[in-house]
A and B are shown apart, each in its own frame.
Chain A
Amino acid sequence: QVQLQQSGAELAKPGSSVKISCKASGYTFTSYYISWIKQTTGQGLEYIGYINTGSGGTNYNEKFKGKATLTVDKSSSTAFMQLSSLTPDDSAVYYCAREGELGAGFDYWGQGVMVTVSS
């Protein structure tokens, strides 16, 4: 069965970086894009960007350019998102999600990773 398993919660200091992972299983990893979504109580759901897991090509929401960097490791079927220059506004739950075929929605989601930025 398709699964996206994300890494554990992160506690980070302002100005630092974190890298969270999303390990896929149960399907051909390189056949589907992976997207990343941020969720906060105040701002709701925000789309960060996606990565073409086959080519490594990326596309970012303008708001997250310079904040998020998406990469993949095809050998381990894992997608990564690095968040840099962290501020308290980056505290959120971050989800990875698989994009269904032909743009048919985000059909599978990871369990989410809580990132807390605090000194």
Chain B
Amino acid sequence: DIQMTQSPPVLSASVGDRVTLSCKASQNINKNLDWYQQKHGEAPKLLIYYTNNLQTGIPSRFSGSGSGTDYTLTISSLQPEDVATYYCYQYNSGWTFGGGTKLELK
């Protein structure tokens, strides 16, 4: 099974900061990776699909990149409404979510 490791588990940042969240796969997942945002008490929400494709309606401050085993979600200028837990998800071989990164305001 492919394991997905997200880092850091918790990230504190200030409004306006550039924030980078990492997701590492235990083997090559060929860019078959999505990013989801989950706010407290809500269902997850699709942000990025197939590594770097912005879902319709998602602000352009969100972007994704990566290849092979290493992937990144970047928020170019953190906003208060971005406080949430972020999950990566691979579907290259089986299906696996990462453990999440909880993003807090400093």
Task: Please list the residues of chain A having a beta carbon within 8 angstroms of any beta carbon in chain B.
Answer: 37, 44-47, 61-62, 95, 97, 100, 103-107, 109-112
Contacts and interface: CB of A to CB of B under 8 A. Distances in A.
Contacts of B32: 103
Contact of A44 (B48, B91, B95, B100): B100
B50 A104 contact: yes
Interface residues of B, number: 22
Given A45-B97, A46-B97, A47-B97, A105 B49 contact: yes
Contact of A61 (B50, B55, B95, B98): B95
Interface in B41-90: 43-46, 48-50, 53, 55, 87, 89
A44 B97 contact: yes
24 contacts: A44-B98, A45-B44, A45-B89, A45-B97, A46-B97, A47-B94, A47-B95, A47-B96, A61-B94, A95-B43, A100-B46, A100-B49, A103-B50, A103-B91, A104-B53, A105-B34, A105-B48, A105-B55, A106-B34, A107-B46, A109-B44, A109-B45, A110-B43, A112-B43
A44 B50 contact: no
